[in-house]
Amino acid sequence: MDLKTYSTFVFLIATSLSFADDGHHEMEEFLKREFSLSKPYQGVGSSSSSHWELMGDAMVTTEQVRLTSDMQSKQGAVWSRIPCHLRDWELQVHFKIHGQGKKNLNGDGLAIWYTKERMQKGISVLLGPVFGNQDFFKGLGVFVDTYPNEEKQLEAQKTRYATRTQRIFPYVLAMVGNGTISYDHERDGHATELGGCSAMVRNLKHDTFLFIRYVRRRLTIMMDIDGQHDWRDCLDIPGVKLPLGYYFGVSAITGDLSDNHDMISLKVYQLTVLRSEAEENEEGDEITLPSVDNIYLLRMGDDEEEWSVIGIFFTILFSMLGCFLLLVVVLIVHSHWNENRRKRFY
Ligand SMILES: *[C@@H]1O[C@H](CO)[C@@H](O)[C@H](O)[C@H]1NC(C)=O
Ligand SMILES: [Ca+2]
């Protein structure tokens, strides 16, 4: 299948999925060219009238926007110059991560952004601790993390990794920042993770895609990385509040270990969603600061919460056992009573 047929295919699936996903709500998609980046990347990095701005070590070729090449200590990014005021959108990211390094001897990964600040030119090179972008960001970051820093660090300390919390890398994860939350690179953002999934995306022959959908304050991430042209769910989180007027961007970084981090295309679709009046009212007030509802329920790897989940499980189990016992007792008493009654009649 060539790319065109493929896109049509993806679009068809997208449309049918969106119908399926959203029950009775109809949804249509429109490609927004002003927020999209695709071949032949006209003017990107060379013209100031381009909708996209290239930063750091990023460079444009005919085939891709290369955020970093497979060399040490590089960081690059490409940022949209236009703030996005779409309420419901989908971002389709066609990317490629590849390099000479053997498994786990490569890094560090790339990030896809919807944030208040676009990276500033000039200081970007100094301030890029989060996959080439600034820390304490406001907005959404989706990271394709290709190097397990935490695991390697624990290995070096000869500490055993709790398998319960182990994540298999490369790992895709989402984080929402409000300007005061820091991304912990040494722990691969474990403490601030909203959710994520493993994604074997490196050194693949076929095309790899990530879909980030934001509809009715629900954040969904899907992937197509197996070359099978089907979507795999990665995460699905309701109650994600993102302000309007933020910027899309992508960035990547290499350290001692490296990879080529290539963007082939970024496509933003406007999703038109019909809302009921109740939904309109519910979502009525404008969001000024990014946040996630019930964030404590999402935090993983936290002992207390796991215990409380186990606690709830046992409470339910014992209540059910209790009810069952009560039922048995009632039945026995009842049948005895019936028997006695029958005896009285004969
Ligand atoms: C940002 O989020 C953190 C963690 O959820 C919270 O403790 C903090 O109060 C938030 N900051 C603001 C300014 O809302
Ligand atoms: Ca990492």
What is the number of the ligand closest to the CA of 191?
Answer: 1
CB 208 within 8 A of CB 224: yes
d(CA 116, CA 150): 29
User: For residue 289, which atom of ligand 1 is closest to its CA?
Assistant: 14
Question: Which residues are CB-contacts of 332 (< 8 A; sequence separation ≥ 6)?
Answer: none
Predicted local confidence at residue 52, as pLDDT: 95
CA of 156 to the centre of ligand 2 (A): 15
Q: Is the pLDDT of residue 304 over 60?
A: no
Closest C-alpha residue for ligand 1 atom 8: 180
Atom number, ligand 1, closest to the C-alpha of residue 292: 5
Which residue is closest in CA terms to ligand 1's atom 9? 180
Q: What is the mean pLDDT of residues 252-280?
A: 94
pLDDT: which is higher, 343 or 119: 119
- Residue 76 CA, ligand 2 centroid: distance in Å: 17
Cα 185 to averaged position of ligand 2 atoms, centre (Å): 6
List, chain by chain if needed, residues with CB within 6 Å of any ligand 1 atom. 178, 180-181, 289, 295
Q: Which of the ligands is closest to the CA of residue 175?
A: 1
Q: What is the pLDDT of residue 19?
A: 45
- Ligand nearest to the CA of residue 192, numbered in listed order: 1
Q: Which CATH architecture has domain 3-294?
A: Sandwich (2.60)
- Per the model's pLDDT, the better-predicted residue between 277 and 240 turns out to be 240
For the chain, the domains span 3-294, 302-346
Distance of alpha carbon 170 from alpha carbon 202, whole angstroms: 8
Query: Mean pLDDT throughout 72-92?
Result: 96
How many angstroms does the Cα of residue 148 sit away from the middle of ligand 2?
Answer: 5
Nearest ligand for residue 183 CA: 2
Instruction: Output the CA 177–ligand 1 centroid distance in Å.
Output: 9
pLDDT band at 258 (very low <50, low <70, confident <90, very high): very high
Q: Check if the beta carbon of residue 67 is closer than 8 Å to that of residue 58.
A: yes
Is 231:17 a contact under the CB 8 Å cutoff? yes
Identity of residue 138: K
- Report how far ligand 1's centroid is from the alpha carbon of 166 (Å): 26
